């Protein structure tokens, strides 16, 4: 007969493994963005105008990220080629990697501008719901990370 000392940890391990397996979603970034946009619109009860604004932001960010993903594949090929050589050309790798900074900075700037524009359109009630949801997510997330 198996003791409780073994059954309980094994059961917990199986449940965690099952939850991780079932919870993993291997959907495209675009599908995840669509799901997030719908979730945001539903949680905040966005108006049609606000929903259109979120969709515009989402679509523009998706376009920019697709371009960056295409560039990332080429960058990874160059990095792999360098790793296969006897000695790496550090200057070439730095130049290659740092060349992507303008794209990343432009995406960050666009995202901040978009969030600010959406924020201006929110009613006080919607902002309150957004803050409450973010605080809830922050509490949930912080249980996995200790500072």
Domain that holds residue 128: 27-142
Task: Label residue 2 left, alpha or beta by phi (over 0 means left) and psi (-120 to 50 means alpha).
Answer: beta
* Residue 22, in any domain of the structure: no
| Residue given tokens 């550090």 in the structure block | 90
Structure token pair of residue 126: 């919607």
107: domain CATH number?
Answer: 1.20.120
Q: Which of 35, 58, 59, 55 is nearest to 47 (CA)?
A: 55
* Residue 21, in any domain of the structure: no
What pLDDT score does 17 carry? Answer: 63
Structure token pair of residue 93: 């790798």
Which residue ranges in the chain fall short of pLDDT 50? none
* Residue 105, in any domain of the structure: yes
CB 122 within 8 A of CB 130: yes
What pLDDT score does 134 carry? Answer: 87
What pLDDT score does 129 carry? Answer: 92
What pLDDT score does 28 carry? Answer: 83
* Residue 1, in any domain of the structure: no
- The structural domain count of the chain equals 1
| Residue given tokens 């003791």 in the structure block | 3
How far does the chain reach from its first CA to its final CA, in angstroms? Answer: 42
CB 68 within 8 A of CB 46: no
* Residue 8, in any domain of the structure: no
The model's pTM: 0.68
* Residue 84, in any domain of the structure: yes
């Amino acid at each position: 007969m198996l003791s409780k000392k073994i059954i309980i940890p094994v059961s917990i391990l199986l449940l965690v493994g099952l939850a991780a397996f079932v919870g993993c979603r291997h959907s495209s970034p675009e599908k995840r963005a669509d799901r997030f946009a719908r979730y945001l619109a539903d949680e905040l009860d966005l108006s049609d105008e606000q929903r259109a604004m979120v969709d515009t932001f989402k679509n523009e960010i998706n376009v920019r990220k697709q371009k960056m993903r295409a560039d990332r594949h080429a960058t990874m090929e160059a990095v792999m080629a360098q790793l296969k050589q006897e000695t790496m050309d550090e200057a070439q790798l730095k130049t290659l990697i740092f060349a992507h900074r303008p794209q990343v900075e432009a995406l960050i700037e666009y995202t901040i501008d978009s969030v600010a524009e959406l924020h201006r359109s929110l009613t006080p009630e919607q902002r309150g719901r957004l803050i409450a949801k973010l605080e809830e997510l922050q509490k949930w997330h912080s249980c996995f990370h200790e500072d």
